[in-house]
């Protein structure tokens, strides 16, 4: 959490009559009950990008401060709306620096990784730019001499990178495999690449990455993933019975196997 950004966001809300109250929030001009962080985000974050007292970069930095303060995914939605809408594009250096800093922070980053996964990475128009900005551009440096913070970022990005097109992420995967500390999130990324509704992988190349991972032999779903990739399957939803057939054979053989549950489900 960036203290200065949080304090700026807190002051900005207070100037509009929205203050912290116990474990929630209150609007001093309203008599209704306490507000949740999500309600505050829905009511106020869009106004950040119409604040004429700030330039666009300042508006974006304030929005990230509100993300730190509220820890609510909807803040990232408003940031994306502003970037992709008539007011955009937002300054790319500020936008992606904001994401990288929060991916590196030693605190929960679920709102940020979920934003990358379902918004930036699932959109083919933004996946390559977003992935390069948060990991691809500096994966070589991270693997060679990365700090704990940059390794934290790399692991978080790899784990939610399932929807990123394989040609976009393959170099990062091939590079990250050289560092055992990233093997677990790499496996999560491969698993999501197969199971996510919008997941993307190339079976032969993915199998080559999987073969280099140093994982416990009893890692859940390791055997199933290896089997479906060996068979040439690219995605769970293109061959819905393949994974279940492998899992059933595993159970018959004395092992447990099931759908990973990770990734967006078909609607």
According to DSSP, residue 118 is labeled I
Helices 127-134 and 148-159: crossing angle, nearest 10°? 160
Per DSSP, the three-state class of 24 is: strand
Q: How many CB atoms lie within 10 A of CB 17?
A: 11
d(CA 128, CA 132): 6
Encoding tokens for residue 82?
Answer: 């502003």
H or E element at residue 27 = strand 24-27
Encoding tokens for residue 93?
Answer: 């250096």
pLDDT by 10s per residue, the chain, length 267: 578 999 999 999 999 999 999 889 999 887 677 899 999 999 999 999 999 999 999 999 999 999 999 999 999 999 999 999 988 999 999 999 999 999 999 999 999 999 999 999 999 999 999 999 999 999 999 999 989 999 999 999 999 999 999 999 999 999 999 999 999 999 999 999 999 999 999 999 999 999 999 999 899 999 999 999 999 999 999 988 999 888 777 655 544 433 344 455 444
Encoding tokens for residue 166?
Answer: 């394989």
Q: Which residues contact 72 (CB under 8 A, 6 or more apart)?
A: 37, 38, 40, 41, 111
Per DSSP, the three-state class of 98 is: helix
Encoding tokens for residue 122?
Answer: 């699932």
Q: Which residues contact 23 (CB under 8 A, 6 or more apart)?
A: 34
Buried b (16+ CB within 10 A) or exposed e, 219-250: eebbbbbebbbeeebbbbbeeeebbeebbeeb
């Amino acid at each position: 959490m960036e203290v200065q950004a949080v304090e700026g966001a807190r002051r900005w809300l207070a100037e509009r009559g929205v203050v912290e109250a116990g474990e929630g929030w209150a609007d001093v001009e309203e008599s209704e009950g306490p507000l949740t962080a999500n309600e505050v985000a829905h009511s106020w974050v869009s106004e950040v990008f119409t604040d004429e007292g700030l330039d666009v970069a300042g508006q974006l930095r304030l929005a990230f401060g509100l993300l730190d303060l509220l820890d609510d995914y909807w803040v990232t939605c408003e940031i994306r709306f502003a970037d992709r809408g008539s007011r955009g594009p937002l300054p790319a250096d500020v936008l992606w620096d904001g994401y990288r800093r929060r991916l590196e922070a030693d605190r929960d980053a679920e709102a940020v990784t979920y934003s990358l996964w379902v918004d930036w990475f699932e959109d083919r128009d933004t996946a390559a730019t977003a992935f390069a900005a948060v990991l691809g551009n500096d994966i070589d440096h991270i693997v060679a001499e990365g700090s704990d913070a940059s390794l934290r970022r790399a692991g978080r990005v790899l784990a939610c990178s399932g929807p990123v097109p394989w040609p976009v992420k393959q170099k990062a995967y091939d590079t990250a495999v050289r560092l055992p500390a990233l093997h677990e999130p790499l496996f999560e990324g491969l698993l999501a690449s197969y199971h996510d509704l919008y997941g993307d992988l190339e079976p032969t190349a993915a199998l080559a990455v999987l073969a280099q991972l140093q994982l416990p032999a009893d890692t859940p779903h390791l055997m199933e993933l290896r089997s479906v990739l060996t068979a040439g399957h690219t995605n769970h939803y293109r061959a819905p019975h393949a994974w279940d057939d492998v899992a059933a054979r595993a159970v018959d053989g004395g092992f447990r196997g099931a759908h990973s549950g990770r990734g967006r489900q078909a609607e």
